[in-house]
Structure formats: structure tokens, C-alpha cells
Amino acid sequence: MDNRGRCLFLYLTLLYLEFWFIIAVSGGTGEGFISIDCGQENSYEDPITGLSYVSDSDYIDTGENHKIPTDTKARDKQGYHLRSFPNGTRNCYRLQVVKDKKYLIRASFLYANYDGLNRLPQFDLYLDINLWKSIKFKVTIFYFTEILAFASRKWMFVCLVNIDLGTPFISSLELRPLDDDMYPLVMPNQTSVFFRRINIQPIKNEILRYPNDIYDRKWMPHISKYMETLSTALYIAPCIGCKYPASSDVLQTCGVPVANGSTINITQHWPFLNNNIRFRKIAFIIHYAEIESPPINDESRSYYLSTNTWNKPSGSYNYPSYLKSGSRYNTKPWSSTSDIFNFVLHKADNSTHPPILIEAMMEIKEFYKLNKNWQGRDPCAPKNFVWERVECNSNSSITSLNLASNGLYGEISTSLINLKQLKSLNLANNNLHGIIPDFLAKMPNLQFLNLSGNNLTGLIPIDLQQKPNLTLSVEGNPKLCYKLDECERNSSKKTVIAIFAVIFFL
Ligand SMILES: *[C@@H]1O[C@H](CO)[C@@H](O)[C@H](O)[C@H]1NC(C)=O
Ligand SMILES: *[C@@H]1O[C@H](CO)[C@@H](O)[C@H](O)[C@H]1NC(C)=O
Ligand SMILES: *[C@@H]1O[C@H](CO)[C@@H](O)[C@H](O)[C@H]1NC(C)=O
Ligand SMILES: *[C@@H]1O[C@H](CO)[C@@H](O)[C@H](O)[C@H]1NC(C)=O
Ligand SMILES: *[C@@H]1O[C@H](CO)[C@@H](O)[C@H](O)[C@H]1NC(C)=O
Ligand SMILES: *[C@@H]1O[C@H](CO)[C@@H](O)[C@H](O)[C@H]1NC(C)=O
Ligand SMILES: *[C@@H]1O[C@H](CO)[C@@H](O)[C@H](O)[C@H]1NC(C)=O
Ligand SMILES: *[C@@H]1O[C@H](CO)[C@@H](O)[C@H](O)[C@H]1NC(C)=O
Ligand SMILES: *[C@@H]1O[C@H](CO)[C@@H](O)[C@H](O)[C@H]1NC(C)=O
Ligand SMILES: *[C@@H]1O[C@H](CO)[C@@H](O)[C@H](O)[C@H]1NC(C)=O
């Protein structure tokens, strides 16, 4: 019952998530912004990013050039050529970088049976003397891995190491300098290998990168049936001087739980390869932004965060203001011995409660077979699209409902009881019958109640008659009474008539 109808959409504009694990390494060296198409002989401008790619011949002396079969389509142009290393255990690219700068380095691989052996090779990838990643493909896709490293010297070496499980190869190598303030966990003695960077619920199921992300980070689409997409076309100012800036394009779409959800649960499998389990540590960043206009009440958009590496949830955390973004991250990487990493964002209990309102409103609509344009996730927001004949306060609670002259037929719906902030209820000039329910007297904020022009019967609840500050209109309901004895007289008469009737028909 607790969670019934609770939705997060207004509060949980979780947008994208970035997390990686940390391995201890010593830094490399160098200078520049480098895009290398391995095995390619010519330079060209990449059709997707507009970036200039160059041949790898100036960066390495060993290995041989190959093309993938002509009938194979690669997602990126860099997939069509590759360099393989049949000879030597260790073959290294030499990359000139700027000393004391941080870099994102990305290596990509598309096997596509270029050697006709139909055997996916396994090999190790090193940055300088430190293992970056054990490369092991499950299928032949355009696979990439990223590492963040601090350049302690003028050179960085990216090396492919043969482990006797096939010929190492590489399709492209990219270096992207980062701002000094970014990724504070990247230090001379500490390098971070990206585990996954995901863009949650993008509109297009595509990787987002340069020029949308000025650092050319690749954001992988994450689309889940448990979430729906919220989006805005408006620019979301990136956080200036932030440790973890996210691009506006990433922030413009977000995932919210479908229907009744109050949680977002994101689970990533994070298998152990031959990285030593004891050294694996994890850091994460969650980016979020407020993209619903106008925000109901900044303070009320809050959430708790828990992961399977924490025992209890942290928070609650509030959302930033409209079209602003924020992020949450761990300042110290955690050790983790699980091969699953799971994030759960749960709506904070003190958030406002439009879902209950929606449910109540839908019940009212259903109850009276109303033909109202009551659509969307919240009766109250955004303000320009507040539901017909509904008024709300700044807390996104319904304060006024005017259903006068709407042909309502039936009794007074008990669903109204859920509209706790209701101040004004106008049900005049309908076809309501039955009694006036007691709960109206208990509605704490009710100040105006117009039931006139209906066909209501019986005693007007005494509590309602005496409710302080209530303006009550009941005229035009001939069968209502103010005092119990009046009602009893009239109803006993009815009883007599009924008995007559029964006898008559017998
Ligand atoms: C790297 O150095 C910082 C201090 O400069 C220290 O806090 C951190 O633990 C070191 N990391 C490793 C992996 O030794
Ligand atoms: C690999 O070694 C073989 C035999 O030593 C040699 O013929 C071949 O040219 C070498 N290939 C490369 C790419 O160095
Ligand atoms: C809430 O969930 C129940 C069952 O899971 C479903 O029947 C109902 O339609 C949902 N309500 C909304 C508003 O989505
Ligand atoms: C989140 O999803 C994972 C995997 O589906 C599950 O093991 C976990 O219990 C879920 N957590 C919550 C709070 O729903
Ligand atoms: C919700 O509670 C948290 C602390 O538990 C508080 O920081 C936040 O301001 C509260 N929000 C509202 C709307 O009361
Ligand atoms: C909004 O909610 C807060 C906290 O529940 C309350 O103090 C405030 O009076 C409410 N504002 C309105 C307009 O009802
Ligand atoms: C209640 O509604 C009736 C019918 O529309 C109207 O005549 C009457 O003035 C209303 N009462 C108040 C107090 O506004
Ligand atoms: C009121 O209800 C009675 C039956 O209880 C019905 O005969 C009458 O037509 C109704 N009046 C209106 C105005 O709907
Ligand atoms: C409502 O009634 C209370 C007493 O019950 C009174 O103090 C208050 O001023 C009244 N408010 C209005 C708006 O009339
Ligand atoms: C009760 O009946 C009397 C006479 O039939 C009538 O005048 C009065 O208005 C009725 N009271 C109510 C509340 O129906």
C-alpha cells in the first residue's frame, strides 16, 4: 500500500551514470590530442566527429596492416583497418603527451575475422608498465576500452602483449586531454580504467561523443523497460569548473521510473577477469539535472541512493534548480568483491505526492465517467499544463477542484479523501445523490464546499455544519436535512410508503 501510485518522475531525474574502477599505476608521459586509425595509411576527417584521424605509422614500427573483409560493416570508420602483431611478445605505441596533464586514452578493436582464422584472440593491453585491461571478446563487435591517466612524463606507451591466445591487434587509439580539475581521483600514482559510462534513456539508441561531448568521452545508451524518457530541448548549463562535467546533450534526456515506480535500479555486471580482486576499487558519478518545468519545489525533489557496496542508503539528496545539473560521486574509491554493481535511487519519503493525487483524480474521473483532459504524470505540473478545473499550490498539491455543472451522476466519491490539501470543492449543479459523506468534515483544509443543485439526501453531517471557516452551500437539495429528527420524520414516512407498496403488491 505504501508504494501504491508513488512515482518518481518528478523527483528522480537521474540522467546518466558514469563509473569506473581504479587500479594503482604510475603515470606516463607526453604531449597533444591524438586520433590514430591503426593500420590505415592515409589521414582523413572522421564523418561522425569531424576529427582528423591519422595513420599509426609515425607511432609504431612493428606489426602489419590489415583490412577487415569488404562485406563487413563497421560502426566507426576506424574499424575498417587494423594493425596486428604476429611477432614479438610486446608491441608498443609511443604517444607524445604534455607532462602533468590528465588524459583519457581509448583503444578500440574490431576483429571481424580479418585473418580468416575465425578465432577471437585474447591479449593484454598495458599503459606503460601497468596492466590496463585483459582484452577478451565474446563476439566480434567494435569494442573499446578507456583509461584515465596522469602524464608524469612526456611519453605514454600503449602496449599489446601476446599471451599465447592469438595475435594481438588494434583498430584505433585516441588520446584526449582533460582539464586539470577533472577526475580528481586520477593522480600520478593512480590511474582509472573506465568500467562504463552510460547515458540513461537517450532518445536515440546511439553512442554520444564528440562534438556533443567536448572531451570526446563515449556515452553508451542505457535503455530500460523500467524507465521512460523525459527530455528537454533546452540547454542545460554545464557545471563550470566541475570535477565531473557532463555535456548538455547527455543531461537533456533522463530516465524516470515507469508508472508506479518509486525506484530506479541500475545493475551492471562487472566480471572479474585476471585483474586481482583485491586491488579492484570502484568509484562512481551520478549526474542529474532538473529538466521539468517549472520545478514544483526544489526541496521536495529528493532521493536516497544505495548500492550493493553500501549497507544503508545515503541521502536524502535534493535536486538542483531548473536546467541546472549536479552530480554525486564517491570521493574515495571503494573496494568491492562483488562482480555486480547495483545502484538504487529511491524517492525520499518527504517528497511531495502527486502520484497519489493522480490516482485519486483518475478514480474520480472513472467514478463519474468524466470526459476530462486529465493526462500526464502530474495534475499540477508543469504549471502551464495543469489539469482542467484543477488548481494547485506550490507544493504540487491540489487545492481546488471545480466540477460544477459537469453532469456528475452518483454519490460523492470517496477518492476525494486523498486530496488532503483541498481548500475548495465545487460539485454544484450535478446529479449527485446519496448522503453527504462524513469524510468531508475531516478534510483538514477545506474552506469552501458547494453541493447545491444536486439531489443529496439525509442529514448534513453535524461536523460539517460546524466545521470552522467552511463556506458550505447545500441549497437546491430538497431531501437534505440539518437535524436528525427532521430526517427521521421524513425517512420514516418513506418507510411506511415502502411497506405499503410491498403489501400492495402482495
Ligand atoms: C596516491 O597518492 C595519494 C596522495 O597523493 C594517496 O592519497 C593515494 O592513496 C595514492 N594512491 C595509491 C594507489 O597509492
Ligand atoms: C614476423 O616474423 C617473420 C619471421 O621472422 C617475418 O618474416 C615477418 O616479416 C615478421 N613480421 C613482422 C610484421 O614483423
Ligand atoms: C500501478 O500498478 C498496478 C499493478 O502493478 C497497475 O495495475 C496500475 O495500472 C498501475 N497504475 C498506474 C497509474 O500506472
Ligand atoms: C535491483 O536489481 C537487482 C538485479 O535485478 C536486484 O538484485 C536487486 O534486489 C534490486 N534492488 C532493489 C532495491 O530493487
Ligand atoms: C527531506 O528530508 C531531507 C533530510 O531528511 C531534507 O534535507 C530535505 O530538505 C527534506 N525535504 C523536504 C521537502 O522537506
Ligand atoms: C509546502 O509544504 C511545506 C512542507 O510540508 C509547508 O511548510 C508549506 O506550508 C507548504 N506550502 C504550501 C503553499 O502549502
Ligand atoms: C454554489 O453554487 C451555486 C450554483 O452554481 C451558486 O448559485 C452559489 O452561489 C454557490 N455558492 C457559493 C457560496 O458560491
Ligand atoms: C432526485 O432523485 C429522485 C429519486 O430519488 C428522482 O426522482 C429525481 O428526479 C431526482 N431529481 C433530480 C433533480 O435529479
Ligand atoms: C479559521 O478558524 C480559526 C479558528 O478555528 C481562526 O483562528 C482562523 O482565523 C480562521 N481562519 C480564517 C481564514 O478565517
Ligand atoms: C421533511 O419533510 C417535510 C415535510 O414533508 C419537508 O417540509 C422538509 O423539507 C423535509 N426535510 C428534508 C430535510 O427533506
pLDDT single digits (tens) 28-81: 222 457 999 999 999 999 988 888 899 999 898 889 999 999 888 888 899 999
pLDDT at res. 152: 85
**CATH architecture, range 1-14+224-351:** Sandwich (2.60)
Task: Kindly indicate the confidence band of residue 5, based on its pLDDT and cuts at 50, 70 and 90.
Answer: very low
Spatial CA neighbour of 21 closest among 395, 267, 275: 275
Place of cell 584472440: 121
Where do you find CATH 2.60.120.430 in the chain?
A: 26-188
Provide CATH code, domain 354-496: 3.80.10.10
Give residue 211's pLDDT band: very low, low, confident or very high (50, 70, 90). confident
- What cell was used for 191? 590511474
Q: Which comes out higher in pLDDT, residue 160 or 206? A: 160
* Average pLDDT for 313-327: 69
Q: How many CA atoms lie within 13 A of 315 on its CB side?
A: 26
Q: Whose CA is nearest to atom 6 of ligand 8?
A: 455
C-alpha grid cell for residue 166? 592469438
Cell numbers for 245, please give them.
Answer: 562535467
Mean pLDDT, residues 435-458: 94
**504, containing H or E segment:** helix 484-505
Residue with CA nearest ligand 8 atom 12 = 455
Confidence check: pLDDT of 495 > 50: no
| Whether residue 428 has its Cβ less than 6 Å from ligand 7 | yes
Q: CATH 3.80.10.10 occupies which residues in the chain?
A: 354-496
Number of other CB atoms surrounding residue 107 within 10 Å: 24
- Alpha-carbon span 227 to 221, nearest angstrom: 13
How much is the average pLDDT of 385-404? 79
Query: What pLDDT score was predicted for residue 249?
Result: 77
Per-residue three-class SS string for 428-486: CCCEEEECCCCHHHHCCCCCEEECCCCEEEEECCHHHHCCCCCEEECCCCCEEECCHHH
Nearest-CA neighbor of 48 among 212, 170, 174, 194?
212
> Would you say residue 160 has pLDDT above 90?
yes
Q: Given this model, what pLDDT does residue 426 score? A: 96
Residue 400 C-alpha to ligand 7 middle, in angstroms? 15
The pLDDT confidence band at residue 316, using thresholds 50, 70 and 90, is: low
Q: What is the pLDDT of residue 237?
A: 74
136 lines ligand 8 (CB under 6 A): no
Q: Yes or no: is domain 26-188 CATH 2.60.120.430?
A: yes
Residue whose CA is closest, atom 7 of ligand 5? 316
Q: What is the model's pLDDT at position 15? A: 35
Which atom of ligand 6 lies nearest, measured to the CA of 397?
14
State pTM to two decimals.
0.60
pLDDT-wise least confident of 231-235, 277-281, 364-368: 277-281
Pocket test for ligand 4, best of 222, 224, 264, 265 (most atoms within 8 A of CB): 265
Is the pLDDT at 466 greater than 90, yes or no?
yes
Q: Judging by beta carbons within 10 Å of its beta carbon (0-12, 13-18, 19+), is residue 420 exposed, middle or buried?
A: middle
Q: What is the overall mean pLDDT for the chain?
A: 77
